[in-house]
Amino acid sequence: MINRKAEKLGRERSVIREIFEYGQKRKSEIGAEHVYDFSLGNPSVSPPPSVDREIVRLIEDGPSTSLHGYTSASGAPETRRAIAEYLTRTHGFSVSGDSIYVTVGAAAALTSALGALVTKGEEVIVLAPYFPEYKVFIEKSGGRAVEVPSCPDFQPNIEAIKEAITPRTAAIIVNSPNNPSGAVITRERLEQLASVLSSAEAELGKSIYLIADEPYRELVYDGAEVPFIPSIYRDTVVCYSFSKSLSLPGERIGYVLVSPSIPECDSVFAAVAGAARSLGYVCAPSLMQRILPKVLGEVSDIAVYDRNRRLLLSELSSYGFECVPPSGAFYLFLKSPVPDANEFAMRARDFELLLVPSDSFGCPGYVRISYCVETEEIKRALPAFSALAKSYGLKG
């Protein structure tokens, strides 16, 4: 018999993917240059040159049997060790390779972490706005997502989080820089959150894990700081992907870091490994594992993202749109001029603008604009944005 829940997930694409597919169809009808697709968070800049050089070197120099063969389920020991040494050196927080589980990107990292830390009937706090797949991942683990709205500036609402914690709370997911708002959570707010979680642990007599989802860690602007959360809160598990920092989204490579400060860190790591095994996520792509030791700390040239961010902020504000300036990632979270963001996104299509309405992010009334595109595409789209603004009686 078919698993009907799985069938439903397979038939109902995410809103983001639906809009992307619509854009592909529309481009074939009127030409790609006439469609302004801001739907998908797909990096538009090339990987650092060192990435391609290392791939070529490995292919030319290394025997293919070892290069393309299986690694250990948790990752090649030299890769895990290199990641740990990089984190220790960068953040001044001692980590060993035994704390690193190499994964098939951030999705595998998150699902493995949730599978390890959440049991049936438990709750996971998600801070709205949040990446829509969190709910899918949490439900797969047997848990239930508890949405907590953030403050108007998209910083965590500490009092609301405190009220949302119950004896069933197993974890909270923190995503900074944030998809979809681009907000970077301040050190002060993280310290306040850590205090609340620590107090709740003491009161409830149980661990409440902080799952730090950090694929955008290096994509920050204007000197914004992204604090290393394991140095702030003891019971932290970090889920990371190289998709954005190295512009390698299709290569699916990342890791889970189980903080060595966790009292039962060995058991948590074993649970992550067991969850990954049960999901079929063992042995991340071998070639990608092999290049990592040589490219850790490298970041793609994100100057184009910053240029796009500044251009959109300046122009859309001049048209009368409202937006909290993002400090990281490559998303602009634009406030809809009408309460129904879906209506706004559908009207935007009349101007060939593909924007993602915010309801699936748990934060109605906004649209997400992915500005990881060529700057020329944004410039071509500005007259359409102006016309859209005028259609709502804004300055345009």
pLDDT at position 14 is 77
Contacts of 311 (CB under 8 A, 6+ apart): 375, 378, 379
Residue 6 has pLDDT above 90, yes or no: no
Residue 5 has pLDDT above 90, yes or no: no
pLDDT in tens, 210-236: 999 999 999 999 999 999 999 999 999
Angle CA(43)–CA(375)–CA(350) in degrees, nearest 5? 95
Average pLDDT over residues 139-143: 95
Torsion of CA 152, 218, 240, 361, to 10 degrees: 30
pLDDT at position 88 is 98
Average pLDDT over residues 9-31: 82
d(CA 230, CA 85): 15
- Higher local confidence (pLDDT), 22 or 73: 73
pTM: 0.95
HSE-up of residue 306 (Cα within 13 Å, Cβ side): 12
DSSP-assigned beta bridge partners for residue 366: 335
Average pLDDT over residues 115-125: 97
pLDDT in tens, 267-290: 999 999 999 999 999 999 999 999
pLDDT at position 322 is 96
Helix (H, G, I), strand (E, B), or coil: what is residue 88? helix
| pLDDT bucket at 13, cuts 50 / 70 / 90 | low
pLDDT in tens, 23-65: 788 888 998 888 999 998 899 999 999 999 999 999 988 677 6
Average pLDDT over residues 91-102: 97
Q: Alpha-carbon torsion 267, 268, 269, 272, what sign? A: positive
pLDDT at position 24 is 87
Q: Alpha-carbon torsion 266, 271, 272, 276, what sign? A: positive
Q: Alpha-carbon torsion 174, 175, 176, 181, what sign? A: negative
How high does pLDDT run on average in the chain?
95
